[in-house]
Structure 1
Amino acid sequence: MSIGNSPEDDRPSEDRIPPMDDRPSVGRALQQARIDAGLTVDEISQSTRVRIPIVHAIEQDDFSRCGGDVYARGHIRTLARAVGVDPEPLLEQYGAEHGSRPAPTPATPLFEAERIRSEPRRPNWTAAMVAAIVAVIAFVGYTAVNGGDDGGDKQQAAEGSTPATSKPANPKPSPTKKPADPKPDPSDSAIAAAPRDKVTVKISAPDGRSWISAKDHNGRILYDGLLEKGQSKTFQDSQKVDLVLGDAGAIQLFVNGKEIEDEFQPGQVERLTYTKGDPEVG
């Protein structure tokens, strides 16, 4: 009987086999890139407007505090750009570890030809017939009246009566021209002319950047991505527009031509829904 190790003990177990993929996790990669860039968590939070607890959680690969897969991807993209690394490999790694999602569809144009094209009106034959009958009656009456007057004038001339001199009709005053309506300033935003039968939402980032997501009433994604400083996006739907603002404090919002005056805090995530009647009066 052998007292040494059996040949089976010399074979490596599954626990002893090193992993094929020795890449660091998404959170660890972001943390190492931040350290290599010489940045603190506070500095990253100030530059990206991502709250400090969320930055700490992401660097520990805890994405539960992001509020969902879409928000986690937006934060990964924002933090990667802030520390100077390409976000796409990290997003692919995140998708492989947490499940992928379909690519967002491009934002719908503000005014599509199909949406603003008016339906052709059918001819109103009843009104046309009534107008024709009225015109015929008026013509017959006018002819009869003028014919009787001509006969009377001829009879008076035959009898030698002097026709009365008719006074010249008073000239009608020329109609006063109405002043032309002032043309709108070409610099005015197109959202001021938003149609009433649709909901129109304009999102601007004048002071900073923020991740945003917009969906129509069918749940179809109109836009999903980062809105850089100075950029703006406009969305339109026949019923409603659902919004998610990753950093509502950096956003300026217009709904149906009116500015939303809500005081959003920096780094605050907001989920909003607007319809054709918004914003409500009062």
Structure 2
Amino acid sequence: MSIGNSPEDDPPFEDGRSEDGHEEEARPSVGRALQQARIAAGLTVDDVSGATRVRIAIVHAIEADDFTPCGGDVYARGHIRTLAKAVHIDPAPLLARYDDDHGGRPAPTPAAPLFEAERIRPERRGPNWTAAMVAAIVAVVGFVGFTAFKGGDSDTTSQAAQGATPSASKSAAPKPSNTDSATPKSDPSDSAIAAAPQDKVTVQVSAVDGRSWISAKDHNGRMLFDGLLKKGESKTFQDSSKVNLILGDAGVIQLYVNGKKIQDDFRPGAVERLTYTKGDPEVG
């Protein structure tokens, strides 16, 4: 009996016979092979469990060739590989024996795209205070302009005539030609950058060369956006101090931070984690 092992850990018979007197197979089972290797290494079940973080009950079950507690073939094969390394034997023959006894090797699971590994579970969104703030600023500017226009109507005739000149110029402006109509319209998010307060950080993300998954959070870790940005689409994010970004394919993305274009050399397919703060564009 090895020191530190319970009596049931020792081989039942040294002559290759089981308790009922029948000869065992020339090649031991997976569980028996692991148990013999553990005993030969002078390790107890507690030692193996502590080294591999596999629960004691599961180690006992595997050594008894009961793989039900593992939860399936994939997990059973993983436990076999881990225990074999812990007792210093090659796991390949044991995995082959397990596959023979359980209907062959399980089908591999398809690999997810690179950026899916970086994906963060979206949080429940709250009120969009950024949009409300921009709308309020636009409303104030519009009200001031409307008040000034109404005040001009009550001035003298000469003042009214002078005020009418810009309107006439606007009405007489020629319609844009076909060449002008082909020019892309500015993204609505550009106005959001222009109207953003100076004491905030504003980040515009545009997918110019393809599509990319992006994730954006504010300084409190609250999710601002988590999804796929298609080619030609843009998103604008704003926070009082910091915006955290994850770009799934940074090579197709163009960034504007606080109204300034970010010159980057991101490689196509590269995953980038970026942090920008208010003031001049600063990346963390």
Scaled by the length of structure 1, the TM-score of the pair is 0.44
Which structure has the highest helix share of the two?
Answer: 2
> Which of structures 1 and 2 has the bigger CA Rg?
1
Q: Which has the higher contact order (CA 8 A, sep 6+)?
A: 1
Scaled by the length of structure 2, the TM-score of the pair is 0.43
